[in-house]
Structure 1
Amino acid sequence: MDDCLNYEQTQLFSNLFLDYINQKSSVSSFYNRFPNLQNFAAQIQDKQSQYNQKHRAVLVDVLNKQYQDFETSKQTQNHINQLSQSNTFTITTGHQLNLFTGPLYTFYKIITVLKTCEQLKTQYPDFNFVPLFWLASEDHDFEEINHFHFKDKTISWPKKASGAVGELDTNDLKSVFETFEDTLPKTQLAEELKNLFKQAYLKHKNLSEASIYLYNQLFGSKGLVILEPNHKKLKACFKNQIRTELLEQITYKEVTQTSEHLKSQNYHEQVTPREINLFYKDNNLRERLILKDNKFFVNSTQLEFSKDEILNEVETHPEKFSPNALMRPLYQEVLLPNLSYVGGAGELAYWLQLQSTFEAFEIPFPMLQMRNSALLFSEKTKTKLDKLDLKVADLFQSTIDLKNQQVKKISKIDIDFTPQKEHLSQQFKALYKLAKQTDKTFLNAVAAQEKKQHNGLNKLEKRLLKAQRRQLADQINRSVKLQDKLFPKQNLQERIVNFSELYLARGEGFIEFLYENFEPFDFSFSVLKLKTNPKSLNQSFVSN
Structure 2
Amino acid sequence: MKLEQLYVNNSNQLLQDYRDQKESIGSFFHFKNEQSSFEERLSDLKNHPVRRLELTKIIRKYMSQLESTPKIEKHLDELEKDAVLVIGGQQSGLLTGPMYSINKAISVLLLAKEQREKLGVPVVPLFWVAGEDHDLDEINHTFYPLSNRLVKHTYTEDGIVKKMASAANLNYEALHEWIEQLFIQFGETAYTKELLANVLHVAENSDTYTTFFVKLMNGLFKEQGLLYMDAADADLRAYEAPYFKTLINHSEEIAAVVTAREAYLEELGYGSPIGATNNAANLFYVKDGERHLLTRKDGYFMNSSIGVKFTREEMLDLADDEACFSNNVVTRPMMQDLVFPVLSFVGGPGELAYWATLKDGFELLGMKVPIFTPRMNVTYVTRETVANLQEIGITAADAINGAVNQLKAKYDEEIYDQEAKTAIEEAKNLLSKQYKVIQQHLKEHEIKIERIVDKNLEFHKHQFDFLMKQIEKDIRLKHSVAFKRFEQVENELLPAGGFQERVYTPYPYLNQFGEGFISGIMALPLQTSYKHQIVYL
TM-score by length of 1: 0.79
Conserved? CA contact 2:285–2:325, under 8 Å:
yes
Matched residues in 1 for 2:383 and 2:394: separation?
14
Conserved? CA contact 2:106–2:522, under 8 Å:
yes
- Aligned match for 1:229, one of 215, 231, 245: 231
- The answer to which of 519-528 and 391-400 deviates more is 391-400
Q: Against the structure 1 CA distance between its residues 238 and 409, is the aligned structure 2 distance closer, same or farther, given a 3 Å change threshold?
A: farther
Matched residues in 2 for 1:401 and 1:470: separation?
20
Number of aligned pairs?
468
Matched residues in 2 for 1:56 and 1:408: separation?
65
1:263-412 aligned within 5 A:
263-274=266-277, 275-317=280-322, 319-395=323-399, 396-397=401-402, 401-406=406-411
Matched residues in 2 for 1:235 and 1:520: separation?
35
Conserved? CA contact 1:156–1:176, under 8 Å:
no
Q: Against the structure 1 CA distance between its residues 360 and 98, is the aligned structure 2 distance closer, same or farther, given a 3 Å change threshold?
A: same
Residue number in structure 2 paired with 1:214: 216
**Would you say 1:199 and 2:201 are equivalent positions?**
yes
| Superposed displacement of residue 482, structure 1 | 2.6
Residue number in structure 1 paired with 2:108: 113
- AA at the equivalent of 2:335: Y
Matched residues in 1 for 2:474 and 2:191: separation?
44
- AA at the equivalent of 1:60: T
Q: Against the structure 1 CA distance between its residues 205 and 393, is the aligned structure 2 distance closer, same or farther, given a 3 Å change threshold?
A: closer
- Aligned match for 2:520, one of 513, 519, 526: 513
Conserved? CA contact 2:155–2:178, under 8 Å:
no
User: Residue 81 of structure 2: SS of its match in structure 1?
Assistant: coil
Q: Against the structure 1 CA distance between its residues 516 and 22, is the aligned structure 2 distance closer, same or farther, given a 3 Å change threshold?
A: farther
Q: Against the structure 1 CA distance between its residues 200 and 98, is the aligned structure 2 distance closer, same or farther, given a 3 Å change threshold?
A: same
- Aligned match for 2:49, one of 38, 49, 52: 52
Conserved? CA contact 2:379–2:500, under 8 Å:
yes
Residue number in structure 2 paired with 1:498: 505
TM-score by length of 2: 0.80
Matched residues in 2 for 1:41 and 1:98: separation?
35
Conserved? CA contact 2:404–2:486, under 8 Å:
no
Matched residues in 2 for 1:46 and 1:301: separation?
43
| Superposed displacement of residue 488, structure 1 | 1.8
Q: Against the structure 1 CA distance between its residues 203 and 235, is the aligned structure 2 distance closer, same or farther, given a 3 Å change threshold?
A: closer
Conserved? CA contact 2:134–2:290, under 8 Å:
no
| Superposed displacement of residue 286, structure 1 | 0.8
| Superposed displacement of residue 295, structure 1 | 2.2
Conserved? CA contact 2:281–2:296, under 8 Å:
yes
| Superposed displacement of residue 244, structure 1 | 4.2
| Superposed displacement of residue 216, structure 1 | 1.7
- Residues 471-510 of structure 1: per-residue CA shift (max 9 Å, x gap): 9863566434532342222221111111110001111111
Residue number in structure 2 paired with 1:180: 179
Residue number in structure 2 paired with 1:40: 38
Conserved? CA contact 1:163–1:282, under 8 Å:
no
Matched residues in 2 for 1:173 and 1:102: separation?
18
| Superposed displacement of residue 375, structure 1 | 1.8
Residue number in structure 2 paired with 1:4: 5
Structure 1 unaligned runs (5+)? Answer: 414-468, 531-544
- AA at the equivalent of 1:249: E
Q: Against the structure 1 CA distance between its residues 377 and 526, is the aligned structure 2 distance closer, same or farther, given a 3 Å change threshold?
A: same
- AA at the equivalent of 1:92: I
Residue number in structure 1 paired with 2:76: 80
**Would you say 1:31 and 2:19 are equivalent positions?**
no
| Superposed displacement of residue 399, structure 1 | 7.0
| Superposed displacement of residue 192, structure 1 | 2.4
| Superposed displacement of residue 75, structure 1 | 0.8
| Superposed displacement of residue 406, structure 1 | 4.9
Matched residues in 1 for 2:253 and 2:44: separation?
22
Conserved? CA contact 2:408–2:483, under 8 Å:
yes
Residue number in structure 1 paired with 2:455: none
- Residues 505-540 of structure 1: per-residue CA shift (max 9 Å, x gap): 11111112322336342211122211xxxxxxxxxx
- AA at the equivalent of 2:96: T
- The answer to which of 473-482 and 284-293 deviates more is 473-482
| Superposed displacement of residue 219, structure 1 | 0.8
Conserved? CA contact 1:276–1:291, under 8 Å:
yes
Residue number in structure 2 paired with 1:466: none
- AA at the equivalent of 2:125: P
Conserved? CA contact 2:214–2:228, under 8 Å:
yes
Conserved? CA contact 1:376–1:528, under 8 Å:
yes
Residue number in structure 2 paired with 1:135: 129
Residue number in structure 2 paired with 1:145: 139
Matched residues in 2 for 1:332 and 1:192: separation?
37
Matched residues in 2 for 1:376 and 1:326: separation?
33
Matched residues in 2 for 1:163 and 1:178: separation?
22
| Superposed displacement of residue 33, structure 1 | 1.7
- AA at the equivalent of 2:394: L
- The answer to which of 135-144 and 276-285 deviates more is 276-285
- AA at the equivalent of 1:361: L
Residue number in structure 1 paired with 2:166: 166
Conserved? CA contact 1:241–1:361, under 8 Å:
no
Conserved? CA contact 2:58–2:235, under 8 Å:
yes
- AA at the equivalent of 2:213: S
CA RMSD for the aligned pairs?
Answer: 2.8
- Residues 279-330 of structure 1: per-residue CA shift (max 9 Å, x gap): 001213210112222222234212222332222212222x201001121111
| Superposed displacement of residue 186, structure 1 | 4.2
Conserved? CA contact 1:407–1:472, under 8 Å:
no
Q: Against the structure 1 CA distance between its residues 364 and 85, is the aligned structure 2 distance closer, same or farther, given a 3 Å change threshold?
A: farther
- AA at the equivalent of 2:60: N
Conserved? CA contact 1:131–1:225, under 8 Å:
yes
- Residues 10-29 of structure 1: per-residue CA shift (max 9 Å, x gap): x4x31111110111122110
